[in-house]
Amino acid sequence: MDDKTTEALGKLHKALETTERARGHLYSFHQLTGTADFELGDAIELLREAGHEEHANRLQAELLGRDVLSGRWTFQVVEEYDDGYYEVFRAAERAVRDDLADGERHGLEKRLKQERQRRSDEAR
């Protein structure tokens, strides 16, 4: 495979890896938001037990279980990202890699490994 194609496939795979990281952050957002909602529920309960019914009612009415985006909880945001972007990106990267590199992953890194190890062997 020529150098430009190898470099292009390396950049494409790096873009996919960056998308993987973004997806991880999205799952963190999902889990942290869910945890916050349960902690909010605990705070509401404690406010009620402490006799602060008005504050507890306000927090429950305005925040507890609230959509994070219009009509959607975080799990729905994650699902939409996964189905509408992430899976499409993965499939597109795989199709290009299958066509140009017989499905081989990390071609750029493999070349780099060989080159760096060759230099190390020569230095010995």
- Domain count of the fold of the chain: 1
Q: What pLDDT sits at residue 57? A: 98
Q: What pLDDT sits at residue 104? A: 85
| Residue 95, CA distances (Å) to 8, 25, 81, 90, 99 in order | 14, 26, 20, 9, 6
Nearest to 85 by CA among 25, 16, 14: 16
Q: What pLDDT sits at residue 47? A: 98
Kindly tell me the sign of the dihedral angle through the C-alpha atoms of 44, 49, 55, 60: positive
Residues of the chain with pLDDT under 70: none
> Which residue range(s) make up the domain with 7?
3-123
Q: What pLDDT sits at residue 114? A: 85
Q: What pLDDT sits at residue 31? A: 98
Q: What pLDDT sits at residue 120? A: 81
